[in-house]
């Protein structure tokens, strides 16, 4: 009996230690954030935000603290034409095609390290379906992109449209930015010109990057 009690005690102690270790690895408040961006491929404001705010800020956080969700639909709409979706986009049919290219890239490149630089490349080289942003040694990705556009491009863009139309509050401007799934008007407005500042002040303030950033920003007040 004593042996059994000792074994049970050791098991519970090990279990408690394992659970505590797992809890310690969970991100604490101010150490992680998901930024969701609703935008249009040919919109100058969207291009400016992705290229000059989102991508540099994503690079600034080196350890995955910032996760990005892309939704390239914006103020587009659709109707059903037989077995197809007929899309109308704010900047014309070409934008619908470019949005669809990005919708396919989101499927083909699920990892942040791949999709964020690729979307940045596409937003810097519009109009493009994405072919200009595929590495020359990755023929398979090019083939997969063509197949996605042909087989499921419409359905993937439609799914992004449903997500956009279900936003609360409704989208009235692009880019439209959510923080951890929430629309905060002040943070959205400020993020358009200073995304890093918004994140370091309210969402990632406990990261090493933001601690140093906030120190430097505070020093500017006194000098």
The series of mean pLDDT values per 10 residues for the chain, 223 residues long, is: 51 49 53 97 98 98 95 98 95 98 98 97 97 93 97 98 98 98 98 98 96 87 50
> Can you give the pLDDT at residue 202?
97
Q: What is the pTM of this model?
A: 0.85
- C-alpha closest to that of 131 among 100, 87, 169: 100
> Can you give the pLDDT at residue 22?
42
How far is the C-alpha of 203 from the C-alpha of 32, rounded, in Å? 7
> Can you give the pLDDT at residue 133?
97
> Can you give the pLDDT at residue 1?
56
> Can you give the pLDDT at residue 191?
98
> Can you give the pLDDT at residue 214?
93
| 182 neighbors 174 (Cβ within 8 angstroms) | no
> Can you give the pLDDT at residue 21?
44
Three-state SS at 199 = helix
Question: CB-based burial of residue 113 (10 Å sphere; 0-12 exposed, 13-18 middle, 19+ buried)?
Answer: exposed
How far is the C-alpha of 44 from the C-alpha of 39, rounded, in Å? 10
Point out which residues pair with 101 in neighbouring strands: none
> Can you give the pLDDT at residue 3?
53
> Can you give the pLDDT at residue 136?
87
């Amino acid at each position: 009996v004593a042996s059994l009690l000792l074994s049970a005690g050791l098991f519970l102690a090990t279990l408690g230690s394992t659970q505590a270790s797992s809890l310690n690895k969970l991100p604490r408040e101010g150490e992680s954030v998901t930024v969701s961006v609703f935008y249009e491929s040919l919109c100058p404001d969207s291009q400016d935000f992705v290229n000059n705010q989102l991508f540099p800020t994503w690079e600034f956080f080196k350890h995955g603290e910032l996760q990005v969700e892309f939704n390239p639909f914006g103020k587009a709409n659709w109707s059903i034409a037989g077995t197809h979706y007929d899309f109308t986009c704010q900047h014309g049919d070409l934008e619908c095609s470019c949005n669809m290219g990005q919708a396919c890239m989101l499927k083909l490149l699920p990892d942040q390290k791949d999709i964020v630089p690729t979307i940045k490349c596409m937003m810097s080289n519009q109009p493009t379906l994405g072919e200009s942003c595929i590495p020359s040694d990755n023929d398979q990705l090019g083939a997969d992109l063509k197949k996605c556009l042909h087989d499921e491009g419409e359905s993937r863009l439609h799914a992004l449209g449903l997500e956009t139309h279900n936003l609360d509050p409704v989208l009235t401007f692009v880019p439209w930015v959510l923080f951890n799934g929430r629309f905060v008007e002040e943070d959205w407005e400020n993020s358009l010109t200073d995304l890093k500042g918004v994140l370091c002040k309210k969402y990632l303030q406990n990261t090493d990057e933001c601690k140093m950033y906030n120190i430097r920003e505070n020093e500017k007040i006194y000098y």
